């Protein structure tokens, strides 16, 4: 290999799943025999195609995905949803409609489920008072049992459906189901637990892999490298580069992965080297940050890298009701703490590098028990 200062090894990957908007409707307190919630999603462009889909959240923790034929979906992506995918079913969803206007959410879906039961979802808000949306990290990752990535569902222009002046109907096989309500008022109003985002940013951080890593060639001793979808800001120490920040470009908001101290260039490490530090993942400032610790340790030809989001999610609440919600609902801030990523990077005799990585969940019950002490 040429001089090591001419190459950089980046073991990190930030995937973006393009989505136009989403809507979540819970009826856990009045469930169906199979379902306790529905989640319509709308796609306008990108790798998934264009169209609507509906996640059916099941009582057994899995999800059914009903999607229009115009969508091209990868079933493997749904292992981050609860206990994983149960069924993926193509449906026309001919009357699918979901918009948000000056009066609030306007949505209608009608389809048959896997049991050929007629399902109807209707929401119509008649409220002319101004919405007061905010940003948050959805705690979706808390339910994933065997995640292949860290799921960061950053929801911008997020709000709840208002209870007053709203016509909401959820019907399964002719039986109506009552939607859940938010237990605390927000902005002086009672809210349903039905919620929506007009600008979701779906991030899948560091998907598990077992493959060769291609080294990045450094053309000159500059501070940045550009790839197809990322900008990598480097720091130079003793003529060797390290990774300070990785920025994943996307149409919503750039996603930044920052290290302190900067992440070492693995190909330049010596046997028994150990480096530890902190990392943070951020997008728009309104959604706060996810942070924690990293550790790099080289033993012979294998380098082990560990990431643990031990700081959890650090929100920036913009209203008293959110401060109360996050303090009472500890799941919002704590669920990332139960994730841990380990990557093993091996150099072979031909000086090629391969990575084998995995995510595991720290025992949630034990963790939350300790968190209360």
pLDDT in the model for residue 218 = 86
Q: Check if the beta carbon of residue 257 is closer than 8 Å to that of residue 294.
A: no
Percent of the chain past pLDDT 70, that is, above it, reads 95
pLDDT confidence bin for 371, thresholds 50/70/90: very low
Which has the minimum average pLDDT: 74-88, 117-131, 283-297?
A: 74-88
Angle at 268 between CA 266 and CA 271, to 5 degrees: 85
pLDDT in the model for residue 366 = 53
pLDDT in the model for residue 76 = 86
Total count of residues recorded for the chain? 373
| Secondary structure string (H, E, C) spanning 205-236 | ECCCCEEEECCEECCCCCCEEECCCEEEEEEE
pLDDT confidence bin for 223, thresholds 50/70/90: confident
User: Pairing relation of β-strands 175-176 and 166-172?
Assistant: antiparallel
How far does Cα 161 stand from its chain's mean position? 22
pTM above the 0.85 mark? yes
Q: 66-90 pLDDT, tens per residue?
A: 999 999 998 988 888 888 899 999 9
276 half-sphere exposure, CB direction, 13 A CA radius = 3
| Res 279 pLDDT > 60 | yes
| Res 372 pLDDT > 50 | no
Taking every pair of Cα atoms in the chain, the longest distance, rounded to a whole number of angstroms, is 72
pLDDT confidence bin for 307, thresholds 50/70/90: very high
What mean pLDDT comes out for the span 312-335?
Answer: 90
């Amino acid at each position: 290999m040429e001089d090591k200062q001419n190459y950089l090894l980046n073991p990190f990957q930030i995937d973006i799943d393009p989505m136009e908007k989403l809507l979540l409707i819970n009826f856990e307190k009045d469930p169906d025999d199979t379902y306790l919630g529905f989640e319509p999603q709308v796609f306008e462009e990108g790798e998934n195609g264009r169209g609507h889909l509906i996640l059916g959240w099941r009582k057994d923790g899995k999800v059914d995905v009903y999607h229009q034929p115009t969508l091209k979906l990868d079933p493997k992506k749904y292992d981050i949803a609860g206990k994983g995918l149960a069924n993926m079913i193509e449906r026309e969803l001919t009357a699918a409609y979901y918009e948000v206007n000056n009066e609030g959410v306007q949505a209608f879906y009608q389809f048959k489920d896997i049991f050929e039961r007629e399902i109807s979802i209707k929401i119509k808000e008649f409220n002319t008072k101004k919405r007061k949306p905010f940003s948050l990290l959805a705690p979706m990752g808390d339910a994933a049992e065997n995640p292949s990535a860290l799921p960061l569902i950053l929801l911008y222009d997020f709000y709840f459906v208002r209870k007053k002046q709203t016509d909401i109907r959820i019907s399964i096989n002719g039986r109506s189901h009552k939607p859940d309500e938010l237990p605390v008022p927000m902005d002086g109003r009672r809210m349903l637990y039905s919620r929506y985002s007009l600008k979701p940013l779906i991030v899948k951080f560091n998907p598990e892999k077992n493959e060769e890593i291609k080294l990045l060639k450094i053309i000159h001793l500059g501070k940045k490298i550009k790839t197809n979808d990322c900008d990598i800001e480097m720091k130079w120490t003793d003529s060797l580069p390290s990774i300070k920040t990785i920025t994943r470009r996307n149409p919503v908001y750039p996603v930044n992965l920052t290290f302190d101290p900067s992440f070492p260039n693995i190909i330049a490490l010596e046997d028994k080297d150990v480096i530890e530090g902190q990392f943070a993942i951020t997008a728009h400032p309104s959604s706060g940050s996810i942070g924690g610790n990293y550790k790099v340790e080289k033993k012979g030809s294998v380098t082990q890298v560990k990431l643990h989001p031990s700081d959890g999610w650090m929100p920036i609440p913009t209203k008293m009701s959110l401060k109360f919600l996050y303090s009472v609902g500890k799941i919002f801030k704590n669920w990332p703490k139960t994730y841990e990523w380990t990557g093993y990077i091996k150099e072979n005799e031909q000086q090629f590098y391969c990575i084998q990585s995995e995510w595991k969940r720290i025992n949630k019950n034990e963790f939350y028990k300790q968190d209360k002490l």
